[in-house]
Amino acid sequence: MLKETELNIFQDFHSAMWIYDSLNNKIHWANKEAIAFWRKKDHQELYQFDFSIDQSEVDRAVIKEDLEEYKQGKERSQWCSFTPADIAKEVYCHFSGVEMSDGRIETLVQIIVSKVSLDSELSVHTTSTLVSLWNISGQLTSSNRLFNTYYGDKLTRFPDLFNSQSQADSLWDKVLTEGQAEQELCLETLDGNRWYQLNLVLNKKGHTQHVTLRQLDTTARKHRELHHQKLATTDQLTQIHNRFGVTQIIEKTINNRTPFTLFLIDLDKFKNINDYYGHEKGDALLKAVAFRLQRIFVNAIAISRLGGDEFLLLMPAKDAQSKKEEGSRLTRCLNTPYHISGLGNVQSGASIGVVNYPADANTMSELLLLADTAMYCSKTSRFDGCSFFDPEMAQPLIKRQNIRNSLKETIDNSGFLYHYEPILMIDDRSIAYSEIQTCWLHPELGMLNSPEFYPIADELSVMHDIELLTLMQACKQIYKDSTQLPILIKVSINELLSGRTLKNLETLSLQIASIPYKLQIAIMEDEIASREFAVAKQLEQISAMKITIVLDNFSVGGMNLTKLSKLPIDIIRFHEDFTVSLNKQAVNSQNTDFTGYLLTCAKHAKYRVICKGVTDLDTVMKLLALGCDFVQDLPIHLINKSSVEKANILL
């Protein structure tokens, strides 16, 4: 293999030579003939030209693949088309590898001969390209041996070369009117279908005219291109279109102004399956979804996996009733359990947003945004089915954007409000703790509770700032309160696992050390699943700072008390649904249901217990009989009045 330092001997070589630098998409070195070939005034102008302008992803993939062959010492020669200064040139080139000074292998190109320099009549008998001559009436008059090998001796008419009369007419008309024509087509031969770069030239000699047809076999290159195109447009896991592939289809459909219906699909339970049973089972579910969509929606324009657990189904436009029926069929398709090897039957379900082109929007980006809005409505409504986009659905989107635009400024200005929800001793209904709630009086949207802006804070990666402000306020309130009531604050699982919650607490370590066990940190039970070890590691460090740990929303996440023992939990707070379920049974019933059993087990494990959703004294008495320690959400008129007067908090 030649080295870059050895190429100066070719500066005055009679044929053009150059090194193509695939890393920078430029010619790195060239001899004098190459400057003339590329129609540049000097080396500097040639070296500065960016060849990526006219390259596609497929072109770059083919170049990369060829470089791998050159690294193995392979070389090749073939006919190629170049367009220096927008002038088409067809030349026979030799390609090989060259070792660059930095050790990389790049492509050395040498022009052997151009087709223009070959006499058309001579080429009929000498080149390895299929060549044929046709009279002005489209009758074959002469051909080389290779042409006869692929077509035999029965083909006599020009249209017989092509798959359709229209293909033949288009090329023939162009060569007669413009003197030349080019096109790449797949043609049928005695050796099967093959790809050819067709070059037709009208030759005039005196009063006679004939057309020279050269067929450069591009089958191998075309197959490589198609292979790389498939890699670029196909999701490798499911073998359906990926985001890039379906984007091309949608944009082409929009350019053709063909109406369609777009179904955006988000699998509801994929994350749980992926987290609990591993990526292998998660991948199996994704493949099963793709297979079922292909099997059921055979008339789809396109089926795509956009990424993760998000799919897209593109269907031809139909009337309103047919669209609803299609949506119902899609819902049934996705709600039907899948059989996953090693798991058995698994039900996923999905949230689906539906938009129509051009009724709802005219661009792909707008369609996907509206479909995502409709899908979000489907997800939040807890209804397994399709949500067809309606303009009113855009209001939550506008609200979210408004929150996004002003949240950072509010954080910088510490512009949040705080109120406190009392947690009561069950025996005398006096205030034992309070739970701090972060609110935001938005100038346009009014009072916002934390669930309305916390998810957006997570998206913007500013949740740690809000947590720090809330922790500072909690510490301040404890100091301010003469009774120093403990204050509970819920923290984000993402902030906890990232270590940012611990970092915030360490920032306030001096204040926290002076109020031991007055600060309580709550984490959601359903967010811990399958991450117990990582959570325990963070909680142990937090607990060491004399901070009480509360497990929130217990009884909905499926965690058993055995796993709880691995976490430094001090208090368990039961979900509201637990209280609702408890109210359906009698306290002294011999058939005490699972809710009472859970609370009893928690007490035996020596956890203190809080029950939420308690709104009446009857429920208080039931919980007291079962050993509950604290209750929450009791109406203010049922709270011990003296404890309210002592507590210096805003209820």
Note the pLDDT tens digit of each residue in 423-436.
999 999 999 999 99
Residue 630 has pLDDT above 60, yes or no: yes
pLDDT at 592: 47
CB 581 within 8 A of CB 541: no
3-state SS assignment for residue 194: strand
Average pLDDT over residues 482-502: 92
Average pLDDT over residues 637-645: 74
CB 263 within 8 A of CB 327: yes
Q: What is d(CA 309, CA 273) in angstroms, rounded to the nearest whole number? A: 11
Let me know if the fold of 2-116 is the same as that of 118-222: yes
pLDDT at 118: 54
Average pLDDT over residues 178-202: 91
Domain 118-222, second-level architecture: 2-Layer Sandwich (3.30)
pLDDT at 205: 60
Q: Encoding tokens for residue 637?
A: 């008129």
Reported as a single tens digit per residue, the pLDDT across 135-167 is 999 999 888 888 988 999 889 999 999 999 999
Lowest mean pLDDT among 84-98, 205-219, 607-621: 205-219
Average pLDDT over residues 527-533: 82
pLDDT band for position 645 (cuts 50, 70, 90):
low
3-state SS assignment for residue 293: helix
Lowest mean pLDDT among 212-221, 373-382, 610-619: 373-382
Domain assignments of the chain as residue spans, ordered by start: 2-116, 118-222, 234-389, 461-635
Name residues whose C-beta falls within 8 Å of residue 361's C-beta, 6 or more positions apart in sequence.
355, 367, 369, 370
More confidently predicted of 529 and 506:
506
pLDDT at 207: 64
Residue 228 has pLDDT above 50, yes or no: yes
Q: How far is CA 184 from CA 92, 175, 240, in A?
A: 17, 15, 27
Name residues whose C-beta falls within 8 Å of residue 502's C-beta, 6 or more positions apart in sequence.
496, 538, 541, 542
pTM as predicted = 0.50
C-alpha torsion sign, points 548, 537, 283, 345: negative
Total residue length of the chain: 651
CB 49 within 8 A of CB 35: no
Pick the CATH number of 461-635 from 3.30.420.40, 3.40.50.300, 3.20.20.450, 3.30.43.10: 3.20.20.450
Residue 235 has pLDDT above 80, yes or no: yes
Backbone angles phi, psi at 488, to 5 degrees: -100, 135
Average pLDDT over residues 445-472: 94
CB 290 within 8 A of CB 313: no
The closest alpha carbon to 551, from 582, 523, 519, 521, belongs to 523
Average pLDDT over residues 609-636: 91
Task: Tell me the pLDDT of the chain averaged across its residues.
Answer: 86
More confidently predicted of 115 and 177:
177
DSSP for residue 288: H
Q: What is d(CA 100, CA 5) in angstroms, rounded to the nearest whole number? A: 8
Q: In the CATH hierarchy, which fold is given to the domain comprising 234-389?
A: Alpha-Beta Plaits (3.30.70)
CB 52 within 8 A of CB 71: no
Residue 208 has pLDDT above 80, yes or no: no
Q: How far is CA 323 from CA 45, 454, 482, in A?
A: 58, 36, 64
CB 175 within 8 A of CB 211: yes
Name residues whose C-beta falls within 8 Å of residue 38's C-beta, 6 or more positions apart in sequence.
27, 30, 46, 49, 84, 85
Q: What is d(CA 517, CA 512) in angstroms, rounded to the nearest whole number? A: 8
pLDDT band for position 343 (cuts 50, 70, 90):
confident
Residue 596 has pLDDT above 50, yes or no: yes
The closest alpha carbon to 130, from 119, 146, 117, 114, belongs to 146
Q: Encoding tokens for residue 1?
A: 């293999």
Q: Which of the given ranges, 9-23, 512-526, 576-590, has the highest pLDDT on average?
A: 512-526
Q: With helix as H, strand as E and coil as C, how does 24-37 read?
A: CCEEEEECHHHHHH
Percentage of the residues of the chain whose pLDDT score is greater than 90: 52
CB 198 within 8 A of CB 183: yes
Q: What is d(CA 262, CA 64) in angstroms, rounded to the nearest whole number? A: 36
Residue 105 has pLDDT above 70, yes or no: yes
The closest alpha carbon to 520, from 483, 471, 481, 464, belongs to 471
Reported as a single tens digit per residue, the pLDDT across 373-419 is 898 888 776 555 788 998 888 787 788 889 999 999 999 999 999 99
The superfamily CATH assigns to domain 2-116 is PAS domain (3.30.450.20)
pLDDT at 593: 55
DSSP for residue 78: E
pLDDT at 646: 60
pLDDT at 131: 86
Residue 590 has pLDDT above 50, yes or no: no
